[in-house]
């Protein structure tokens, strides 16, 4: 059994590693959430989020102006519900796209507020855009979609679906939880009305807060009275203008988020997108060179995720037998994730979100390969490491977590 002398390496798709500066921000003396000191923290975090939401492009160009970034005292599920409840809380017609756990969650949330039509595909398969075109009509009030489906490692076609929604005058709400802060996202070009992300994912902050971007057009459509009291977005928008939230804010978490998004501004989104894409290719090519198979099967405009890689477990170590593999990875002081729901025991998932270095990506590839070898799967660990390294830049300029 290997010695666990190396530092713990967190490769789960959330929470992700955070920097020492982010951790230190949470240890600062407490202040009132109604103080000018806290308002300055909120403003810093909001400014950084404005950058992430509106300039997540390979060239850094601005994709939206005039919208508002909101910080929520809750994880992204709160943001998903808030968006739906404020836009169709009084009832209406929603089309929800489902090809993984989080698309299913969005549909289940919408079920509580409106009549929902699901456009479904097997988990890991692409949602046919033509099926979306058939489902969305002039009677559709809202379309919900997950951009980067964390449960399967797929990057869904937001641009194409946004065009369909716009053609029928439907509002379009997108879960960008594991894409915003790590990959390309275009608000106006993709006709997105509300975008949602989570602190603990590609923003590389601690879990407990989330954020959403509400366009000017969507602001006019909100009905806070139809939403849960805590999720009244009209109220959140009024308080955000004062750099506050309607209720008691999680002060240490807001401080951590402010530092994390300032780190993103310093790195720049173009550099961050390029780094995440290279690291995702390294995982995919490394595991393929070992002889392992990708789980998702993207077709058409759907693509592989650039922040989460999902790999099928070999037949001989599926189900209950998968525990030995995950234990062998953990013995190397590395943490990865298994599948969710019915994919438990069928796949494993690794994340490259946040501030991981090239060396940490290569360590993750080797840890998986060595664990496979330990449980009797014939893989070529060196070939995998070499293939992964070929996708990474010669100089690793990412900050070690």
Q: Domain of 316: which CATH number?
A: 3.90.1150.10
The answer to whether residue 144 is domain-embedded is: yes
Write down the pLDDT at residue 51: 98
Reported confidence tier of residue 6, pLDDT bands at 50, 70, 90? confident
The answer to whether residue 273 is domain-embedded is: yes
Reported confidence tier of residue 54, pLDDT bands at 50, 70, 90? very high
Q: What is the DSSP letter of 399?
A: P
Reported confidence tier of residue 296, pLDDT bands at 50, 70, 90? very high
Write down the pLDDT at residue 394: 76
Write down the pLDDT at residue 104: 98
Write down the pLDDT at residue 169: 97
Q: Name the one residue in this structure whose structure tokens are 């909100």.
A: 222
Residues 252 and 358 placed together within one structural domain of the fold: no
CB atoms within 10 A of CB 336: 23
Residues 33 and 167 placed together within one structural domain of the fold: yes
The answer to whether residue 4 is domain-embedded is: no
Write down the pLDDT at residue 5: 56
The answer to whether residue 311 is domain-embedded is: yes
For residue 1, pLDDT beyond 80: no
Q: Name the one residue in this structure whose structure tokens are 């949470």.
A: 26
Domain boundary among 214, 238, 267: 267
Q: Compute the C-alpha angle 207/11/13, nearest 5°.
A: 50
| Rounded average pLDDT over 248-263 | 98
Q: What is the pTM of this model?
A: 0.94
For residue 125, pLDDT beyond 70: yes
Give the count of domains, the chain. Answer: 2
Answer yes or no: are the C-beta atoms of 157 and 299 closer than 8 Å.
no
Residues 13 and 124 placed together within one structural domain of the fold: no
> What is the rounded CA–CA span in Å between residue 98 and residue 53?
24
Give residue-wise pLDDT tens across range 153-195. Answer: 999 999 999 999 999 999 999 999 999 999 999 999 999 999 9
For residue 354, pLDDT beyond 70: yes
Give residue-wise pLDDT tens across range 356-372. Answer: 999 999 999 999 999 99
Domain boundary among 206, 240, 267: 267
The answer to whether residue 397 is domain-embedded is: no
| Rounded average pLDDT over 199-210 | 98
The answer to whether residue 143 is domain-embedded is: yes
| Rounded average pLDDT over 252-275 | 98
Write down the pLDDT at residue 395: 53
> What is the rounded CA–CA span in Å between residue 393 and residue 315?
34
Residues 253 and 294 placed together within one structural domain of the fold: no
Q: Write out the residue range of the structural domain in which residue 245 sits.
A: 20-267
For residue 398, pLDDT beyond 60: no
Residues 166 and 90 placed together within one structural domain of the fold: yes
Residues 250 and 330 placed together within one structural domain of the fold: no
Mean pLDDT of the chain: 95
Instruction: Estimate the crossing angle of helix 251-267 against helix 36-54, to 10 degrees.
Output: 40
CB atoms within 10 A of CB 300: 12
The answer to whether residue 52 is domain-embedded is: yes
Residues 99 and 165 placed together within one structural domain of the fold: yes
The CATH number that applies at residue 207 is 3.40.640.10
Backbone angles phi, psi at 203, to 5 degrees: -75, -20
Residues 89 and 228 placed together within one structural domain of the fold: yes
- Smallest CA-to-CA distance from 350 within 318, 380, 311, 323 is with 311
| Rounded average pLDDT over 43-60 | 97
Domain boundary among 232, 267, 302: 267
The answer to whether residue 2 is domain-embedded is: no
Residues 118 and 230 placed together within one structural domain of the fold: yes
Q: Is 376 left (phi over 0), alpha (psi -120 to 50) or beta?
A: left
Q: Name the one residue in this structure whose structure tokens are 């075109």.
A: 133
Residues 368 and 235 placed together within one structural domain of the fold: no
Residues 370 and 332 placed together within one structural domain of the fold: yes
Residues 157 and 69 placed together within one structural domain of the fold: yes
């Amino acid at each position: 059994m290997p010695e666990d002398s190396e530092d713990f390496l967190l490769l789960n798709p959330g929470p992700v590693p955070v920097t020492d500066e982010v951790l230190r921000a949470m240890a600062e003396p407490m202040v009132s959430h109604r103080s000018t000191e806290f308002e300055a923290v909120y403003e810093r975090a909001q400014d950084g989020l404005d950058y992430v939401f509106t300039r997540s492009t390979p060239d850094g160009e601005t994709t939206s102006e005039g919208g508002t970034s909101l910080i929520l005292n809750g994880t992204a599920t709160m943001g998903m519900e808030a968006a739906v409840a404020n836009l169709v809380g009084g009832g209406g017609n929603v089309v929800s796209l489902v090809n993984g756990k989080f698309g299913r969650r969005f549909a289940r949330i919408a079920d509580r507020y409106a009549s929902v039509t699901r456009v479904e595909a097997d988990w890991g398969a692409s949602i046919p855009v033509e099926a979306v075109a058939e489902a969305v009509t002039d009677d559709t009030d809202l379309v919900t979609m997950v951009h980067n489906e964390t449960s399967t490692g797929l990057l869904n076609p937001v641009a194409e679906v946004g065009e369909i929604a716009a053609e029928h005058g439907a509002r379009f709400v997108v879960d960008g939880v594991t894409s915003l802060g790590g990959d390309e996202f275009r608000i106006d070009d993709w006709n997105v009305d509300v975008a949602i992300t989570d602190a603990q994912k590609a923003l590389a902050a601690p879990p407990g807060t989330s954020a959403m971007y509400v366009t000017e057009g969507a602001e006019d459509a909100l009905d806070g009275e139809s939403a849960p009291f805590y999720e009244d977005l009209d109220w959140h928008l009024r308080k955000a203008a004062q750099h506050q939230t309607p209720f008691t804010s999680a002060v240490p978490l807001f401080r951590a988020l402010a530092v994390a998004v300032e780190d993103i501004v310093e790195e720049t989104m173009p550099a961050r997108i390029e780094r995440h894409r290279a690291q995702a290719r390294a995982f995919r090519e490394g595991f393929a060179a070992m002889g392992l198979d990708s789980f998702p099967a993207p077709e058409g405009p759907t693509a592989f995720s650039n922040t989460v890689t999902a790999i099928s477990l070999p037949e001989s170590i599926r189900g209950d037998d998968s525990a030995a593999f995950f234990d062998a990875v953990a013995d190397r002081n590395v943490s990865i994730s298994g599948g969710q729901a019915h994919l438990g025991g069928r796949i494993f998932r690794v994340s490259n979100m946040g501030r991981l270095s090239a060396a940490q990506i290569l360590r993750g590839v080797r840890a998986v390969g060595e664990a496979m070898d330990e449980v009797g799967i014939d893989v070529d660990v060196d070939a995998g490491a070499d293939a992964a390294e070929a996708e990474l830049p010669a100089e690793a300029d990412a900050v070690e977590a």
